[in-house]
Structure 1
Amino acid sequence: MSTNQERKGYGPSDQTPISTRIADILPVPPTTQPVSEPEKHVKANSLTEEPTLSHALATSNHEEKGLAQQQHDEEVVDLGWNEKKHDIPAPLVGGLGNEDLWLLVRRFNKQVYHVKEVPTAVPGDLDLNIADEEEFSPDKLRANIERFYMTVVVGLLAAVKHVARLRSWREARRTSYFCAAYFIAWVFDMIVPLLTLTFITLIVYPRSREVLFPPAPLALVDTKTGGVQKPKAGVLGSTESSTGAPQNFKGEAVEQEASNFVNSFTSIVVTSATGKHPQGAPSTESSSPDDAIPDPTRATMAAAEAKDVAAGGKASPKHDKTKVPVETAMWTKMRPIMHGIADVSDTWERFANALSPTSPFPKEVYRLRLAALIAPLFFISLFVTSYMFMKGVTFGVGVGFFGDPIISRGLKWLNNTFPHWQKLLELRNTVLKGVPTNAQLTLTLLRIGEANKAPLPPPPSINEPPPERPTEVTDAELRATGAEPPLNATDEELQEAMEHDPQTAYETGGSDIDAAKGSSKHGKRGSKIIGFFKGTTKGAVKAAIGSDHARAKAGSHHARNRLGAVPRSNTNHVSGPVDFKGRYNGKKGHVYITTKSTIPAVSFSTDETIEKIGSAEREDLHPLWTVAINDIAEIKKVGGYGWKAKIVVGWSLGREVADGLEITDRTGNVRRITALPMRDELFNRLVAIGGQKWEAW
């Protein structure tokens, strides 16, 4: 299904659901265009042209509808932008809770920085795939590692804890069933048929997953004993996180865990690089010079070089000939490493969304396709003996080891005859075709709002910290098979484990870990030094911000782009869904999106009256520039300051920096909007509103 014409029984005129064909269930590529016609360019001008499955699903007539899928009288309806959590109607999208929707959007905002239009066919009939030449940046690497933690690491941890529960025999009835089934299959040489049949059952019948592997909060299960443990956070405030930390919104605890996972790993690496070793240091009094010196681990490279010099080494590049080549090699390899991490996370998310599809994606097609692939293995395993299996494996090993002349010639012939044939065999084009990553799912949900003139409101924010009290645990989060109690624990044991204990979070594995983990104690003198530097830095930053106004008037382009990036206070900026406060060339104004006109467009105006509801559609507005939505070829998030200046501003002033957005049209003209408090929200609207096929860079 690569074009609108191929999607039979569905279109903007009849608005009927997409019909399922046999080809949809089979693991065959949706189109051979990347090989047969690699240079063919097809561009769509609106959502209704349905250039991808994502666009088609966004404009379909869904059976289960939320508020964003209803018919509205207004040209653009406000479903709760700038409203509090409890004031936003639910559900916004049918079949999906608001908290699940906000979880996806929050992670989408952190993952997607830069998109470009793709004129050719997209893999798996879904756009927003990661480009092969994806740009590298340390911030993007961090985002990918955090995403890897939230998807792969947490998923593997859940699997490990399920295994621990089974092996512990605490849930005796369930474990005895597994044990009996395994050894009966072993006696009759039916281990492989049993495993494949179990996989097919888990895939096709979702209810079986809860019966065979009943749910339990991750933080509540002890990995060693399979029994109940006190959550690492000291309270069971969330059920899907590994620490059980409290949260205001679903998924926030896991996101904070991922951020702290990267921070902690970085801290350990930095500490190792600087040779920090508390046990080897002599005991000192509180008034010693050590207390007055800030921890050197904050300047990694400088501190590492200082450590080498102190140990008798030479810090000069003339003495160390390995520094430059090793640094160059490490930074050069970072992009493929980052891309590999993203590919693993993408595949994990696709399998998860195939097993548990989210509306509006089909519920059964992907599960049937996966089961159809495993079913032949089940029937083959009934007749293939272990001897035949080992003979086949060893034959394959021999061919792979000694068959290079034949294999290389075969690959050369394929590359010459069918260029890009590898792309047709990718999982996203065959087994997982049409199955979205979480980013592709989020983009489809955003497109649903745009197709119905009801842009999805951004995730609300709560400034108060989450309460230190146990979350409500229902059968959906904690249950056992049959009549057994969950985790074979009494209600009193479960309640005691869930209750808040402020000391649990600080417990480590020994005094050596305590000493290595403990933060440096600067004492009063150290605090004064840090306070002095913070005060002087604050003054310097304010002076630099003030000088930007003078330099901007003098004609400095860079100074104009920095104007307004640091607001006077961290107040809420009310914008959207039609107009967004920002600056262009230093001038205050609003970016606004018009959809009532024949050609939807995004414009910038300095008219102050645009803040009134609906005023963006007035004909008397004279924008500084206008770009048709269909002409946008690239959208990129940009910083209000460089990363170093951003850190200094946040540390010294304690304020948020308003970043910007670059919009590039198909002719190459670039419009840079700065001081844009709701940058992510504008980015999401522009990405979702048109018919472009995007690629993430």
Structure 2
Amino acid sequence: MSADEEANQNGSTSGQNTIASKLTDILPVPPNTQPVSEPEKRETANSLTEEPTLSHALATDDHEEKGLAQQEHDEEVIDLGWNEKKEEISGPLVGGLGNEDLWLLVRRFNKQVYHVKEVPTTVPGDLDLNIADEEEFSPDKLRANVERLYMTVVVGLLAAVKHIARLRSWRETRRTASFCAVYFLAWALDLVVPTLTLTLITLIVYPRSRDILFPPAPLALVDSKTGGIQKPKAGVLGSTESSTGAPQNYKGEAVEQEASNFFNGITSIVVTSATGKNPQAAPSTESGSPDDAVPDPTSVTVAAAEAKDVAAGGKASPKHDKTKVPVETAMWTKMRPIMHGVADVSDTWERFANALSPTPPFPRDIYRLRLASLILPLFLISLFVTSYMFMKGVTFGVGFGFFGDPIISRGLKWLNHTFPNWQKLLELRNTILKGVPTNAQLTLTLLRIGEANKAPIPPPPSTSEPPPEKPTEITDNELRATGAEPPLNATDEEIQQAMEHDPRTAHETGGSDIDAAKGSKHGKKGSKIIGFFKGTTKGAVKTAIGTDHARAKVGSHHAKNRLGAVPRSDDSRISGPVDFQGRYKGQKGHVYITTKSTIPAVSFSTDSTIEKIGSVEREDLHPLWTIAINDIAELKKVGGYGWKAKIVVGWSMGREVADGLEITDRLGNVRRVTALPMRDELFNRLVAIGGQKWEAW
């Protein structure tokens, strides 16, 4: 008997008793009605094997295609290359997924997920790590969400725009002619809507059709106006998935750097606007002028804006400006829902992308069939509905929505009274996109695969060397045309010339006014002043770090938490996957995870011999504290310094600050480990190793 037949006979729930697909998996119905029928019911699991969600079930399933992290082994915890270079890892860590793609997901997961809490109730869509409705706001998290929006939505929309430009340009004549002929034939037969819906169904169900109808091309190589070939904005085609074509050491780094600079560019424009920077209206200067003696005021925001108002004859005192406090309060109050909205847009985009192109171990066909089943009725209806009937229906709906408030409000009141939380059942993640992960949920599932097989996923490798300024290798997977036409209607020589490095291209702008506004010239004396302040700040920082040691000895709690936050060398990075160097209340030691014992736990010990623990359980370490893995209720990344001090340390000393991690158990006891060079890696192990259902805060 096949797995599908057995699942249908037993009536088991997907993600709980079996991974086999059923009819209910394909239909867009909620996996269960518990959020409405029993919203307060609590369900907790003590291990991955209890499979409280689809993510846990997939992690513990026996996969057909296996990578290094899914192989059987005799060791308690196997090290798959936590401190090795990527070239020294022989095969894929997870079956069906390249290591570069895996590390890309983990790298972005580290930037996105800061704080998680255990969820005892049913999670929507049978997947945990959803964003909490009352998610905490912070400027750093807002930045992460905007960068994520760029990497998903903005880059995706830009790719769509360039595909349309290619199609409209008639450069790939046969493909455009085919599209044109089919469209006008459908128009002549009044079958435009059926043709479009049938094409959409084909693109969803048959992935190969996407490359046939829309052949790939490097994003930076396509001109969005002409649809032809162009020189990448970076001056060289060093990456194929980024909008600038910038070189990269690892897959996805160029897009991540673009996202960071996208946010920096927005803030830079806002700052220069707030400070009233107008280089075109400024008088010409010469060496020794006041402009040459001071740094660019756009390095500060509020203070510079107030200084600009004073220079223009305004009043700097808050007593004269009664709008400042309420406007600032309103702006900051609205930041959390704005940030949450940005995250929701990115989540939905990622879910649709993962539904159309699933990543193992998630099912390959279920989500595509579900999306196609929703469009199929539209295709059938469009064969019989005339344009007159369609417009009649639309205008009736507009009128009912405008004038039908008495009926609509009473209906909503009845629903809220009869079925509380009914909205949760209709959410996309609970119906059309149920079981479809965001990239964060996908990454968590991949991390759980490693933990389920006692083979933790190694962290993404890093390098201090800049990427080479040379073109990347292009194959048919990155640049292709439909049929025998040349890609982008360009010769091999034209493509090669566009790919070659040209250092001038990256600095080209739209005119002299943009050059003047974009430039931030400090002047010789201004640069000396900045260098002077940097030197004095570095001395002050070193003094403060030394003072912390003295204050910690006399019992200062805050000083103890700051000890070791600025590591003296990078040797402390070499640790994991079992033990992680850190401090607890200022004491040097190691956090270590034991899974061989009856109750897996995380502990902290100051025993110096812990470095030899390896994968063997040690009973003589005498930990200062121990928390059972199943008792962890909350994990929160915390800074080694405050955000202002962290910026000053990074600017003046050019050193990375080692941050910390707060671990809270179900009784409310909080353990704060500081000076953790591998904070993200420890967080990832703890968040993936147990049976908890998490919610992102």
TM-score of Structure 1 vs Structure 2, range by shorter chain: over 0.9
2:52/2:691 contact within 8 Å kept: yes
Cα distance between partner residues in 1 of 2:147 and 2:97: 24
1:292-327 Cα deviation digits (max 9, x unpaired): 101111110011011111111112111111100000
Q: Is the CA contact 1:203–1:370 (under 8 Å) kept in the aligned structure 2?
A: yes
Distance (whole Å) between structure 1 residues aligned to residue 642 and residue 299 of structure 2: 19
Task: Measure the CA separation in 2 of the matches of 1:508 and 1:640.
Answer: 40
Alignment of 1:675-690 (within 5 A): 675-690=675-690
**1:614 Cα deviation after fit:** 2.2
The C-alpha deviation readout for 1:509-547, integer Å capped at 9, x for no partner, is 000001111122321x22221121111111111111101
The answer (yes or no) to whether the contact 1:593–1:616 under 8 Å persists in 2 is no
What is the aligned partner in structure 2 of residue 408 from structure 1? 409
Conserved 8 A contact 1:168-1:226: yes
Residue aligning to 1:497: 498
Describe the shift of the 1:394–1:116 C-alpha distance in structure 2 as closer, same or farther (beyond 3 A).
Answer: same
Partner in structure 2 of residue 538 of structure 1: 538
Asked if structure 2 preserves the Cα contact closer than 8 Å seen for 1:659 and 1:677, the reply is: yes
Any conservation in 2 of the 1:609–1:615 contact (CA below 8 Å)? Answer: no
Q: Counterparts in 2 of 1:5-404, with a 5 A limit? A: 7=12, 18-404=19-405
Q: Deviations over 1:374-396 (max 9, x none)?
A: 00000000000000000000000
SS of residue paired to 2:287: coil
SS at match of 1:278: coil
Q: Deviations over 1:13-63 (max 9, x none)?
A: xxxx62111000000000100000001000000000000000000000001
Secondary structure at 1:377 match in 2: helix
SS in 1 for 2:604: strand
Displacement of 1:400 after TM fit? 0.2
User: Does the residue aligned with 1:617 lie in a helix, a strand or coil?
Assistant: coil
Map of 1:434 onto structure 2: 435
Q: Show the counterpart of 2:7.
A: none
| SS of residue in 1 equivalent to 2:573 | coil
Separation of aligned partners in 2, 1:466 and 1:70? 34
- The one-letter code sitting in structure 2 at the alignment partner of 1:390 is M
- Structure 2 vs 1, CA of residues 333 and 94 (structure 1 numbering), >3 Å: closer, same or farther? same
Amino acid corresponding to residue 687 of structure 2 in structure 1: V
Measure how far apart 1:9 and its partner are: 9.3
Which amino acid letter does the alignment assign opposite residue 23 of structure 1? T
> Once the two structures are superposed, what CA deviation does each residue of 1:615-673 show, in whole Å capped at 9, x if it has no partner?
76111121000000000000000000000000000111111100000000000000000
Alignment match, 1:581: 581
Distance 1:380 1:10 in 2: 34
CA contact (8 A) 2:561 2:584 kept: yes
CA RMSD of aligned residues (A): 1.1
Q: Tell me, in whole angstroms, the C-alpha distance in 1 between the residues paired with 2:307 and 2:372.
A: 59
**For 2:690 and 2:293, how far apart are their aligned partners in 1?**
58
Kindly provide the amino acid, as one letter, of the partner of residue 688 in structure 1. A
CA drift at 1:11: 7.7
- Counterpart CA distance in 1 for 2:32 and 2:549 is 55
Deviation at 1:569, TM superposition (A): 3.3
The answer to whether the Cα contact below 8 Å between 1:7 and 1:18 also exists between their aligned partners in 2 is no
1:597 alignment partner in structure 2: 597
Equivalent position of 2:564 in the other structure? 564
TM-fit CA distance, 1:286: 2.3
Name the CA distance, whole Å, in 2 between partners of 1:7 and 1:522.
72
C-alpha displacement at 1:10, in angstroms?
Answer: 8.4
Distance 2:222 2:606 in 1: 57
**Number of aligned pairs?**
688
Q: Identify if the C-alpha distance between structure 1 residues 140 and 536 changes in structure 2 by more than 3 Å, giving closer, same or farther.
A: same
| TM-score, structure 1 as length reference | 0.98
Q: Which runs of structure 1 show a deviation greater than 2 angstroms over 4 or more consecutive aligned residues? A: 5-12, 569-572, 613-616
Equivalent residues of 2:172, 2:488 under 8 A apart:
yes
String of CA shifts for 1:255-307, please: whole Å, max 9, x gaps: 00000000011001000000001000001112212011011111100110111
Letter paired with 2:362: F
Deviations 1:113-161 (A, max 9, x none): 0000000000000000000000000000000000000000000000000
Q: How does 1:424-573 map to 2 (within 5 A)?
A: 424-523=425-524, 525-571=525-571, 573=573
Residue 629 of structure 1 corresponds to 629
Other structure's SS at 1:196 match: helix
Deviation at 1:89, TM superposition (A): 2.6
Deviation for aligned residue 1:462: 1.2
- For residues 538 and 432 of structure 1, the distance between their equivalents in structure 2, rounded to whole angstroms, comes to 52
Residues 50-87 of structure 1: per-residue CA shift (max 9 Å, x gap):
00000000000001100100101100000000111111
Name the CA shift for 1:605/1:505 in 2 (closer, same or farther; >3 Å).
same
CA distance in 2, matches of 1:89, 1:671: 38
Q: Which residue of 2 aligns with 1:611?
A: 611
Unaligned runs of 5+ in 1: none
Question: Post-superposition shift, 1:455?
Answer: 0.2
User: What SS class does the counterpart of residue 662 from structure 1 fall into?
Assistant: strand
Q: Distance in 2 between matches of 1:256 and 1:557?
A: 37
Percent identity between the aligned chains?
A: 85
Deviation at 1:7, TM superposition (A): 4.1
Relative distance call for 1:402 and 1:565 in structure 2 (3 A) is same
Q: Aligned equivalents of 2:562 and 2:463: distance in 1? A: 28
Distance 1:142 1:176 in 2: 44
Deviation at 1:252, TM superposition (A): 0.3
Number of the residue aligned with 1:640: 640
